Structure 1
Amino acid sequence: MTDSTTISLLPYNQTIFIFHTSLPLPTIMQLKLFSVLFFVLGLCAYTTWALPYSIQELTERDGSVAFAEHLSQDLAKRTRYPVKGDADLAAKIMVAVKAKVKADIVAKISASVSEKIKASLDIKVKALLGIVSIGDAKITARQSAALKKVQAKVEASIQASLETQVYASIEADLLKVLKKHKKCSEADLLKILIDLEAKLIAALKVKLPSICAGLKATVQASVEACIKDLQIHIPLLLTIKISSTFKLDVAIKACVDLAVKVCADLNAKVCAKAILNAL
């Protein structure tokens, strides 16, 4: 069976051309189907070829951007000097100094207290039908949260004491030295920082042990708060009782000993270079 198909074309000059074809109708449908199939296969082939290339191109471009940023940072660092010796520079130095002391010293002392409290806790759980066990993740999470509060309180107490007993005089001395230098080269600034760190270490060796010795009230209050946070009593359902063998005097002595040890290991030149790199 055949069907005559008429195709009309209307070009720009409005002249009408009419073509007649006497191809069988199934043949025409097959041609259309083949054309669609060919287009789909071509699109899939293009996508398969283009995708890895695009990913590779993006990866290379990202790598180029990262390298450019790294190079820019290095160039900025090399061209930063000389720097103006003013209050802004002193403030930046003190921020870096305090951050380093907190990370290298204060955090270790507060973690020591937290660990001793954790080791001293005796947790007893009574639950209906054994719903809760000592290894329950919720109890562990509560204990971890309570101990983090203890550590944060101890850190805050030490930091507050350092501000008044150590940092205030160190910053005042730094400002005096920087005022003598309108411009500081990298070598000049390193020398200033080495002198600053030497004074800081000397002050820490004297003040930090006494600061730790004065933590008794803070630590005792933190232990009591920790126990209170962990205890739970839900009548007939759940009871968590906390007892502690924590020995305050032993913990405080351990803090003092740790402070002495950490300060003894400090090196002014090494610390100064770390501060310089952090600016």
Structure 2
Amino acid sequence: MSGGADIAVIAGQGALPGLIARAAPGVLVCEMEGTPSDIGTPDTLRFRIERLVPFLDTLADRGIKRVVFAGALQRPHVDMEMIDPRSAQLVPRLAMAMQAGDDATLRAVIEIFEDWDFKVVGAHEIAPDLVCAPGVICGAPSDRDHADAERAAAIVADLGRADIGQGAVVAGGLCLAVETLPGTDAMLDFVRLHKGLRDDLKSVRGVFFKAPKPNQDRRADLPAIGVQTVVNAAAAGLSGIAFEAGGVMLLDRDAVIEAARAADLFLWACAP
């Protein structure tokens, strides 16, 4: 990947912003106040949502052409007294999108950046090694695992259409948990705490499946799996993790694979 002198990364929390910065040296790191990233430096450009237009103007003045959103961003508390007149014109547009859900909010934000002639690109476009081609990466899913993954994929598709979540756990054909607002870690912890729902963990362990939402704009909020995901899936007593090939990022792939092998979990990138 070439240098990132014309790229701004809107950095949220988690490992992804750092991976983008390493894949494209020279990127301009930007943080929304109240949501610090793990890669903030003295040169980091910090902004407030109440002054979004001046921030966009600053990016243009610095020669930024491409923008990538990376990491988890919390919905900010908006201080109406701090909004400048030009940014105030965007408030109704953003407020309506927020009421329609996360997907609508992301689409509205992307459209605003595009209105300033920035090209919004996905994290996987900057660092293509983050996504996987179809195939079993490690371990060996059984016939039952295949059936559970297929069932979980159907559930995740329905969740996504309702803009609820991007993951589900299925064991022996039964749905044990789905991902909602608290996120993947909370879902897997729920499964861990309710291992008793499976009478025989050796024969019915279960599969965690993750995929983007149907019709999701993949330039933002592409789901990701990291080492902690593997650790939590193992603690939940699952047999492995399946995910949509090309649609889910592996953060620090080598470490994720090593953790899965150590925990005797399979990793399977399923063809869409």
TM-score (norm 2): 0.21
Kindly name which structure, 1 or 2, has the bigger radius of gyration based on alpha carbons: 1
Structure having the larger proportion of residues in helix: 1
TM-score (norm 1): 0.21
Structure having the larger proportion of residues in strand: 2
User: Could you say which structure has the greater relative contact order, defined with CA pairs below 8 angstroms and 6 or more residues apart?
Assistant: 1
